[in-house]
């Protein structure tokens, strides 16, 4: 579908979904965003749903300003996927051992590495600039009481919530590795610190929603935020890359006879800020629950833990600021999902997937998410499908 344009306060709201299907609170958030004085344009993806301050599934293009809440608290959260030389025939009938080995290699939930991972010892990891990256740690927000040692120990760990590691099989029988994670607790700490700073600034006092507080170009606060933001985005990308290397090492060991070969990684943020130019204007484009889908850009759009995911290629639709959805998107809150579904429902909806099937992940049940097939159908003018993946192993935090 092409987009539907809904009247906004200062700019129209371009929506790649039926506005009538969007929850009322989310629509109000979008109207609030459209009232910001610095806004150049607003695009809404088909996986849109209520978020804190800014709506998940929104692409917010601003001239000389950026809103920390429009990035979210998991700065740089995103996806990484790799195609392997394995096929479904290479996989054992019982995948519980493979899942266990993955969970042993990569800390999940609040777990971290006892000793920081040295990427120079990982097969295939490009460690160029690693020392410089950590040298810049001392320059990030001094108000954040965060130890470098713990940030280093969390590098290469999954986290919790909707973060996951999967072994998938595509429609032609080829095995893929895929994972979803971000900047861990250091990203959260930095985000919350800067959101607090932004809310205190005089130019934000009259906003309809204080969570939409912004930093303005050429100010010390903006400079500080950009420094920390871009560092956290780099942390997130490195975190996923290290996990993928650890995951590949597990697969090499478990399938040693197959001499597994891995393709080049596909990686994309879906909570981040980028400097981009549209209509000759240099803008700060914030994607909160959206990926970049410029012409030829590869991206990853996951569904839920039982429905599969898509590898896509961007079509470069500038009406959407070269963006696409970041996933299926929730259709109910975690609290609502826990009230509605049981562990029996979870077992039924994740049949055929080696994964946790306990009360701790009921809020991630496929029934709590929108249809990934419909979400893909609604953005045919934004991306084209390269591969459809179905998970056979899913590790949750």
Copy the structure tokens of residue 293.
């889908």
Choose, from 40, 49, 180, 326, the residue flagged as catalytic.
326
What does the alpha-carbon distance between residue 32 and residue 204 come to, in Å, rounded to a whole number?
Answer: 13
- Give the span between the Cα atoms of 295 and 236, in whole angstroms: 24
**Token digits for 20?**
């009538």
Please measure the distance between the N-terminal and C-terminal CA atoms of the chain and give it in whole angstroms: 35
Which of 183, 185, 208 is CA-nearest to residue 67? 208
Rounded CA gap, 11 and 98, in Å?
50
Place of tokens 């012409």: 295
- For the chain, list the strands marked E by DSSP: 4-6, 13-15, 39-49, 56-62, 65-66, 78-87, 164-170, 174-181, 215-216, 266-269, 271-278, 281-288, 290-292, 298-302, 309-314, 323-325, 383-396
Task: For residue 203, count other CB atoms closer than 10 A to its CB.
Answer: 15
| Size (the chain), residues | 397
Output the six-digit token pair for 248. 């590949």
In a 3-state reduction of DSSP, which class is residue 92?
A: coil
Structure tokens at 166: 């999967």
Distance of CA 207 to the CA centre of its chain: 28
- List CB contacts of 279: < 8 A, sequence separation 6 or more: none
- The candidate with the shortest Cα–Cα distance to 72, out of 205, 162, 206, 179, is 162
Active-site annotation holds for 270: no
* Residues with catalytic function: 326
């Amino acid at each position: 579908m092409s987009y539907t344009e809904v009247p906004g306060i200062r700019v129209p709201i371009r929506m790649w979904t039926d506005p009538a299907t969007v929850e009322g609170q989310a629509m109000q958030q979008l109207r609030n965003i459209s009232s910001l004085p610095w806004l150049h344009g607003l695009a809404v993806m088909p996986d849109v749903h209520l978020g804190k301050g800014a709506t998940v599934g929104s692409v917010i293009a601003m001239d000389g300003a950026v809103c920390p809440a429009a990035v979210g608290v998991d700065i740089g959260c995103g996806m990484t996927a790799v195609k392997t030389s394995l096929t479904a025939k290479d996989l054992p009938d019982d995948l519980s051992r493979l899942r266990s080995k993955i969970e042993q290699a990569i800390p999940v939930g609040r777990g971290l590495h006892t000793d920081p991972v040295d990427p120079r010892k990982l097969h295939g990891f490009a460690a160029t600039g690693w020392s410089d990256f950590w040298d810049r740690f001392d320059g990030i927000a001094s108000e954040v009481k965060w130890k470098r040692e713990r940030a280093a120990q969390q590098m290469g760990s999954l986290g919790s919530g909707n973060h996951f590691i999967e072994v998938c099989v595509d429609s032609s029988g080829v095995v893929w590795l895929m994972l979803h994670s971000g900047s861990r607790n250091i990203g959260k700490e930095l985000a919350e610190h800067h959101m607090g700073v932004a809310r205190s600034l005089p130019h934000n006092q009259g906003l309809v929603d204080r969570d939409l507080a912004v930093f303005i170009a050429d100010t010390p606060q903006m400079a500080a935020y950009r420094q920390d933001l871009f560092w956290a985005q780099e942390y997130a990308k490195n975190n996923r890359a290290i996990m993928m290397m650890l995951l590949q090492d597990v697969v090499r060991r478990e399938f040693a006879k197959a001499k597994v070969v891995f393709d080049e990684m596909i990686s994309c943020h879906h909570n981040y800020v980028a400097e981009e130019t549209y209509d000759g204007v240099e803008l700060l484009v914030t994607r909160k629950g959206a990926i970049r889908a410029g012409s030829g850009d590869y991206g990853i759009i996951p569904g839920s833990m039982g429905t599969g995911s898509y590898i896509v290629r961007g079509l470069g639709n500038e009406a959407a600021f070269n963006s696409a959805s970041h996933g299926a998107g929730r259709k109910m809150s975690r609290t609502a999902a826990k009230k509605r579904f049981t562990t029996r429902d979870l077992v039924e909806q994740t049949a055929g997937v080696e994964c946790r099937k306990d009360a701790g992940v009921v809020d991630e049940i496929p029934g709590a998410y929108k249809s990934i097939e419909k979400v893909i159908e609604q953005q045919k003018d934004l991306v084209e499908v390269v591969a459809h993946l179905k998970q056979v192993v899913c590790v949750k935090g």
